[in-house]
Amino acid sequence: MKHKKVAVINIGIGNIGSVINCLNKLNFEPTIISNGQELTDFCPTHILMPGVGSVKQVMKNINHGNLIETLEDLVLKKNCRICGICAGMQILTESSEEFGLTECLGWIPGRVKKINSNGLSVPHIGWNTMNSNKDPIFKGIEDMDMYFAHSYAADCPEDYIISYTNYGSKFVSAIRKNNIYGIQSHPEKSAEIGAIFFKNFLSLE
């Protein structure tokens, strides 16, 4: 296996510590990145982008850190692997309806909308099933439960959906476009299942 250079993007909100601890237990030594220059200098093979909170704040923070241009260069031009987590997944889409319309990265077609829980309490918090397809990122953990904490989810074309979850109604819980992945649940809070997810992602060449 080639040496992995793992960047964890610190976008100001998110459980960076839990992600780092999980990766350390897998014998990876990730580097925390806060701005575009740091990301350029580090030149990672894999990027993790955790986010907790609103898409509007996440987009504000990555703009403030001058991260977008560098991310686009690495991900869209150099095919660096990236996985967005929770709000980090949501910003991969074109826009979000949370707290008014927010323009997102637009790497994967779709819009972030409030989940239709059909009367179940929102936010959706707790363990729920990832009804996943055979994408290699779910190898060995197909249809397993992971931990969620969110009120909004991506509404994407079927071509990009690699997992959905039911909470009152069906919502998208993981997406992929080539080297770009997003997961709505929190692998860093999902014990052994989450660790396997990270290991699978970091095994991708």
Encoded amino acid at 199, one letter: K
Q: Which of 46, 124, 150, 186 is catalytic?
A: 186
Rounded to the nearest 5°, which phi and psi values hold at 111? -135, 145
CA distance 30 to 161: 27
Q: Is 188 labeled as catalytic in the residue annotation? A: yes
CA distance 105 to 130: 24
Q: Is 83 labeled as catalytic in the residue annotation? A: no
- Contacts of the segment 104-109: beta carbons below 8 A, 24+ positions apart: 104/55, 104/59, 105/68, 105/71, 105/72, 107/75, 107/76, 107/177, 107/180, 108/154, 108/156, 108/160, 108/175, 108/177, 108/180, 108/182, 109/156, 109/157, 109/160
Rounded to the nearest 5°, which phi and psi values hold at 163? -160, 145
Q: Which of 86, 104, 124, 156 is catalytic?
A: 86
Instruction: Give, in order, the Cα–Cα distances in Å from 153 to each of 24, 74, 85.
Output: 29, 25, 12
Q: Is 186 labeled as catalytic in the residue annotation? A: yes
Active site residues: 86, 186, 188
